[in-house]
A and B are shown apart, each in its own frame.
Chain A
Amino acid sequence: MTARRFPKALRIESKFTTGTTIAIPQREREALVTKDQDVVGVIAALFWSGKRDVDGRWFIVDAAESFRSGPGDAGSLAVQDLQRIEKGQAWLAAVRDHVEQTWPRFLRAFRDEALVGHEALCTELRELKRVGRLRERVAEDPVLELEHRNGVREIVDSHGAAIAGHIFQDLLAYLLTLAGYARVQINPIGVPDIVVSEFRGDLTSNVVTLTLTREHADRLVQLCQAAGEDDLVEALKRDFDRDRKS
């Protein structure tokens, strides 16, 4: 297994769509470009398109490695593109895992504020972040896929896609602070949408890095399968496949 680390900072363009393709205009893509090797410009896309396997989960890809550099690139990405690109970008695994594991619980924690409105949510998130009690709000008990989809649906139905997009964007920004980014900056009008920085993940991250031979890794998967540890099998397979491809 390769080491899974969080970048020092993330510059994020957040996209929410009820379709199956997102468009990233040139201006937004340029805003993600950075010369700092430890800073990654990412596109975070959330879909609500009626496809059970896709809806309600964030796709996070490195913008620098997702577009052809030629002029013919229209700057749009379909779900399948994002799925494919994700598999090839192992360096964002830690970010993706954090988002995947925390996002449903985070959305549930702030569902009520989100339903009240964007402003109410922003105020609550800001205040909790300021007093350092954001994590307290996020309960540990798991959220069902159905509950999570219902949560996304309620927000979209309640506010419409445009406002819901802003809500999800803010939630993502503050969700990333739980990974260890001390500073969060949201640009409602400018680009990029979100910048999270001052990573202090060593204080908050619970990610463990293992180094195994392929043989040991396969044995570990088999043993976990035999023990019925399906979540663990899924997580291991995901990482192993990612490593294999990378």
Chain B
Amino acid sequence: MSSKTAGESKRWRLASVTVVDFRGVLGSQLFEFNGHPALIWGNNGVGKSTLALALEWILFGAFPSNALAAPKDAFMSPVGGGSKVCKGEVVFVLEEKRLIARRDAAANTFQVEFDDKKVHDNQARVLLEDQLGLDMDTFVRAVLLQQSKIRGLLLDDVKDRNKALDRLLGMDAAEAMLENIKPKPFKDAAKSWRENIESTEAHYQSQAELLEKRFNEAQQEARANKFLGRDLSGAGLTLLYAGLGRDLGKIAGKYGADAPQLPPADTVAGAKKTSAALAKALNQIRLGAELQKKLAPIGKRLAALQAAGEEWAELVEQRDEAQKDLDGIGKHHGDVKAVATRRAELEQELTRLKQQLRSASELRTLLVQARVCFEGDIVDACPVCEQGIAQPKKVLRSIGERIEGLTTKSVREIEKALEKARTSHVDLCETEKKFQTAQTALAEAQKQLEAGRKTTMKLLEVDGLIESKVSSELTKALADVTKQRAELSKGVETMEEDLEAISERDRAVRDGLVPFLECREAVEGHEREWKKAKNSYADAEKKASEMDDRATQVENIKKAILAAKDEIASETLGKAGPRAQKLYEKLVQHPLFDRLDVKTAVKANKVDYSFEVSSSAVNKSAREARLVLSDGQLTAAALALFYALAEAGQHGLDLLYIDDPTQNLDHARKEAMAKVVVDLASRKQIVVSTQDEDFVVLLRDAGFENGCVVHHIEQWDRRPTVSTTMPKTSQA
């Protein structure tokens, strides 16, 4: 079979791929193609897919984002262990020209050699893309045809099918943009700004209503306290307290007190201080007034006079009591002098009686002695006078009688009288003592009275005040002072009334006006804040409008992208459509639905795809392909579209690398696929990779092996064992 047609000879073909220490290849492995179609076949797990992956990695240094589940290094390193230094080289040929791409993971280098020139990294990427005319996305969509790419077309979910078609059509980038370009955040932001304004406004409105109610109630209360007009303001408050201060000064002057200075009540808080200062000032006036100064000594004098009066009365009473006691004794015992005379007389009597008693005793003694003499010796004569005694016995008897008489009568009487006199003497002494005591008490009382009189004279500031006048003078003085005090007290009462009037006015301001002004301040603050908020609304509204503009711009961009996507996808499908139809007919060979129709439709900010089949013989027979085709037929239909789109791709590679195209296909579909591959190979370099031996036979039967390279990977032992058959022309 011919490997090239005239029209396709201007595109690069694959000459070789060298893989070093990459996934299924440990060490170095060369796959030669020399620009020919090729068949790579072998059992599962012998390294077929490694070649496709290596080709992708060497050229682009990456894999599609959804291809790698494992970390990139772990994915790329040799399965058989050993070095992790992946390398590779891909050689393309175009007539005599060679384009060589080399990638070294360890050195992290990428090199492209072309026209005797070697460039690296970014320059190499640019040169490669320039020569091949494709990037990685286009490569995996239009060159490296793996069945996994069409699986999405078989899924039930419209989104998945749309996504799969986006990928096939190269619209996934546009779709990603559409998904990311969302006007909603801008609309939400605008809405949020406006809601902020509304909620702020509602907040201020509700606060205003509450404050208004409080304000009106407080104002009513203030008016009830007779505050009107200008009183109901801060200036009014200041004036009211200034007036109170003035009146306070006048009152202070009137009562001879120091005029206090009140702090100005220029704010509500200041008014409270002023009120406190005013209360203090009132007390100062109360205490410092002349009236108070006079009243204090008068009160003191009054107290002193009252005390002096009471003390005088007490002293007089004491003195009178003492006199009364003395008089009582006198009345009972007579005059004190008489008592003294009586006592003196009694003392003389006592002396006399004592003398009598002594004489009687001495006589008796003599008589006793005489009787003793007469009783012992008869005495004839008197021993004293020596006169003879005529009758001694008679004398003796007489002596005896005389002794008896003295003893029983005279002495006894004397003793009795003596005893009586003694008793009387004691009584008189006692009485005399009482007199003395009473006299002493009277003298003392009189002395105190005298002292009281002198004190009173001093208190009354008079001289020569006699005792009897003391009491009346005191009463008179007390009456005078009491009168003075009454007069002063009346003045103090008037002062208290004046002060109370000021205090009352202060109380009215404090309790009636200040609460209103506090409320007014709250309203004022609220109005100020609200005004500030309203000023800020302009900014918020401006931002909201800007957000609306952004949302509109984003919507327009989205619409533009959507329209472009629809246009490009429609054009691509339009170009690929006839070829897809032919391939569908060849691959599916459906007895009824002989037409494949893939179209776009813009719906609600997105592009939907319809993947339909229909019968050319029946009108309105179009059906959704997945509903009427079997899985195998659907796979074949999807491959038809896939290959057609790949063929329609505009790039610099004349290569289709078809990896495992027979999954899910029955024998007839495989046979048809083999013919399609052979047909494709007649126009470009086809590399088919398969594990399906039936398909290998069918390809051989279809003539694919004529003029193509066959790499049979017989086994794998940490590297593929490849048996390569080069075409005869190449071998030649």
Contacts and interface: CB of A to CB of B under 8 A. Distances in A.
Interface in B217-258: 219, 228-230, 233-235
Contact of A144 (B235, B524, B535, B538): B524
B531 A230 contact: yes
Given A111-B229, A139-B230, A146 B535 contact: no
Given A146-B215, A150-B216, A141 B233 contact: yes
Nearest to A241: B538
Name the interface size band of chain A: 10 to 19
Nearest to B529: A230
A112 B229 CA distance: 8
Interface in A61-78: none
B528 A230 contact: yes
Given A139-B235, A230-B535, A144 B229 contact: no
A198 interface: no
Contacts of B215: 146
A231 to B, nearest CB: 8
Interface in A157-176: none
B523 A144 contact: yes
B187 interface: no
B222 to A, nearest CB: 12
Interface in B124-161: none
Contacts of B230: 139
A237 B535 contact: yes
Given A139-B235, A150-B216, A230-B532, A145 B527 contact: yes
A234 B527 CA distance: 14
B413 interface: no
Interface in B580-628: none
Given A139-B233, A139-B235, A141-B233, A146 B527 contact: yes
A57 B228 CA distance: 24
B531 A144 contact: no
B670 interface: no
Contacts of A147: 520
A112 B230 CA distance: 11
Nearest to A225: B535
A146 B215 CA distance: 9
Nearest to B524: A144
Contacts of A52: 205, 208
Given A144-B520, A146-B212, A146-B523, A234 B234 contact: no
Contacts of B535: 230, 233-234, 237
Interface string B19-62: 00000000000000000000000000000000000000000000
Contacts of B211: 146
Interface string A228-239: 001001100100
Contacts of A146: 208, 211-212, 215, 523, 527
Nearest to B527: A145
Contacts of B228: 112
Contacts of B212: 146
Contacts of A140: 235
Contacts of A141: 233-235
A141 B234 CA distance: 8
B685 to A, nearest CB: 69
A150 B527 CA distance: 15
Contacts of B234: 141
Contacts of A233: 535
Interface string A77-112: 000000000000000000000000000000000011
A52 to B, nearest CB: 8
Contacts of B523: 144, 146
A137 to B, nearest CB: 10
Contacts, number: 35
Contacts of B235: 139-141
Nearest to B234: A141
A220 B267 CA distance: 31
Nearest to B235: A141
A119 to B, nearest CB: 20
A230 B528 CA distance: 8
A202 B289 CA distance: 56
Contacts of A112: 228-229
A208 B524 CA distance: 27
Contacts of B216: 150
A144 B527 contact: yes
Nearest to B216: A150
A144 B219 CA distance: 13
Interface in A192-246: 230, 233-234, 237
B239 to A, nearest CB: 10
A227 to B, nearest CB: 13
A135 to B, nearest CB: 15
A145 B205 CA distance: 13
A161 to B, nearest CB: 22
B261 to A, nearest CB: 24
B173 to A, nearest CB: 43
A6 B229 CA distance: 32
A244 B18 CA distance: 74
Contacts of A139: 230, 233, 235
Contacts of A230: 528, 531-532, 535
A141 B230 CA distance: 10
Contacts of A150: 216, 219
A140 to B, nearest CB: 8
A221 to B, nearest CB: 10
A147 B538 CA distance: 26
Nearest to A140: B235
A144 B211 CA distance: 12
Interface string B506-550: 000000000000001001100110011001001000000000000
Nearest to A111: B229
A234 B229 contact: no
A147 B521 CA distance: 12
B730 to A, nearest CB: 79
A234 B531 contact: yes
Contacts of B538: 237
A150 B230 CA distance: 15
Q: Which of A52, A111, A146, A234 has the most CB of B within 10 A?
A: A146
A146 B232 CA distance: 13
A185 B132 CA distance: 94
A1 B151 CA distance: 71
Nearest to B233: A141
A210 B234 CA distance: 33
A233 B520 CA distance: 24
A127 B705 CA distance: 123
Contacts of A111: 229
B143 to A, nearest CB: 60
Contacts of B205: 52
A125 B531 CA distance: 33
Nearest to A143: B233
Nearest to A141: B235
Contacts of B219: 150
B698 to A, nearest CB: 81
Interface string B198-217: 00000001001001100110
Interface in A113-168: 139-141, 144-147, 150
A237 B520 CA distance: 28
B513 to A, nearest CB: 15
A15 to B, nearest CB: 26
18 contacts: A52-B208, A112-B228, A112-B229, A139-B230, A139-B233, A140-B235, A141-B234, A141-B235, A144-B520, A144-B523, A145-B527, A146-B211, A146-B215, A146-B527, A150-B216, A230-B535, A234-B531, A237-B535
A-B pairs, 7 with minimum CB distance: A141-B235, A230-B532, A145-B527, A146-B523, A141-B233, A144-B523, A144-B524
Interface of A: 52, 111-112, 139-141, 144-147, 150, 230, 233-234, 237
Interface of B: 205, 208, 211-212, 215-216, 219, 228-230, 233-235, 520, 523-524, 527-528, 531-532, 535, 538
Given A111-B229, A147-B520, A233-B535, 4 more contacts: A139-B230, A141-B233, A144-B523, A230-B528
